[in-house]
Amino acid sequence: MLWVKSFHIVFIASWFAGLFYLPRIFVNLAMVPPESVAERERLLLMAHKLMRFTTLLAVPAVALGLWLWLGYGIGLGAGNGWMHAKLFVVALILGYHHACGVMLRRFQQGINRRGHVWYRWFNEAPVIMLVVVVLLVVIKPF
């Protein structure tokens, strides 16, 4: 079980690295002047490759988490309300990941409707979600 936990943590950390950096690329894309086609294309390529890699990391992160939850029974039973709260936040993280994919497709189609300040705030969401998950797992408040 410790091997599974270890790999789960490694994949989660790697997945979050992508979720931290991808919106930062969106900030830069929102700031690109219309005449800078080469810069826009380079940032779009970076974002596309990062999104693909981040998605590949999310799959084993979630699969190993499910293995720990269902296979080993971590968080099951009475007094494990923290796990329900954690799973809710994980669902929000998966939604955030999906939203990043939608935003990337809009940038690729040239139909971005938001400014760089909005993406700067959007970039803070995974930090908050990660802090909440870590606190729930370590402290297990309920």
* Full-model pTM: 0.93
Q: Is 98 annotated as a binding residue?
A: no
- In this predicted structure, the answer to whether residue 4 has a pLDDT above a threshold of 90 is yes
What's phi and psi for 104, nearest 5 deg?
-65, -45
The annotation status of 84 as a binding-site residue, yes or no, is no
What is the chain's mean pLDDT, rounded? Answer: 95
pLDDT digits (tens, 9 = 90+) for 120-140: 999 999 999 999 999 999 999
How many residues comprise the chain?
142
Q: Residue 85 has what pLDDT?
A: 95
Residue 43 has pLDDT above 90, yes or no: yes
Residue 134 is predicted with a pLDDT of 96
Q: Per-residue pLDDT tens for 72-109?
A: 888 888 888 999 999 999 999 999 999 999 999 999 99
